[in-house]
Amino acid sequence: MDILRLAIVGYGKIARDQHHPAIANDPRHRLTAVASRNASVPEVANFESLEALLEQGPEIDAVALCTPAGVRTQQARLAMAHGKHVMLEKPPGATLAEIETLREEAERHGVTLFASWHSRHAHGVAGAKRWLVERQIRGVEIEWKEDVRVWHPGQAWIWQPGGMGVFDPGINALSIATEILPRPFHLVDAQLQVPGNCQTPIAASLDFIDGDDVPIHAEFDFRQQGTPPIWEIHVETDAGRLTLEAGGRRLLIDGELQEEGPDAEYAGLYARFAELIAEGRSDVDVSPFRHVADSLMLGYRHTVEDFVE
């Protein structure tokens, strides 16, 4: 397959820290252009907007949209109308309904649309999924806690409508859970803590059950300070306790390490993107996003003290 000529749209922290290095280390891809209002990259074509890139820029095959979710749908529609394949950072959009319109437009234009969930490509996730297939699951505990000042510095959009607050990292946990658990599950209770000066939650306590009434409990919190982030999933089964640590990079059974690997999630995303394009297919799984939408719709909101960044 020919090298894919890629453009990054929105060159912020996630693009700088993850997308750009993953592209640079994958011989199937070449970063050809960047569209960003506040940043530029040496040795590639730089533009202030996707519109300018598509009108004036070099030939590209695909775009990775790393902009906030609220503007991503229009950008995806524009790129696909120009015949470009599209990777969507998570979350794939601001609403579930708009993702369905993008899915239809990708099919109509004959391009690949990839709603990416990077945490599913963490080293231990595939092994956890295989191990759980033949086990009887008795309960699941998810703990996803981090310091928002460290992981989202200066990103005021996260507290605005559509920004999702603590669900921005929490959706990573849900993307893993929906991948490794063998049965679908649904929300039964949600308690959300929202700062008085924000529109989105800073913490969430969620309860789900699956079709066999197996309890699944999740705690998300943006106020973790003084220690490393806690990104863990524990699954109690008839054959022991499975644990994913470090966002899925470490897999343990009854406390004994089974697998551990480097942080290569975005390398996995771009490998998957190349495969989808070569096969002429799209991958648009919205199940993690649906759980977030249910939580925001059904959750009981508690107002807490104002958040000062």
Angle between helix 287-298 and helix 96-109 axes, rounded to 10 deg:
150
Q: What is the C-alpha separation between 246 and 42, in angstroms, rounded? A: 33
Number of residues assigned to the chain: 309
Strands 300-304 and 203-210 turn out to be unpaired
Q: Which DSSP string do the residues of 136-161 spell out, in sequence order?
A: -EEEEEEEEE-BHHHHSTT-GGGGST
Backbone angles phi, psi at 69, to 5 degrees: -60, -30
Is 129 an active-site residue? no
The secondary structure element, H or E, covering residue 193 is strand 185-195
In this structure, the number of other CB atoms found within 10 A of the CB of residue 199 comes to 13
Which residue in the list 13, 84, 90, 145 is annotated as catalytic?
A: 90
Write down the residue that tokens 């063998």 correspond to. Answer: 182
Active site residues: 90
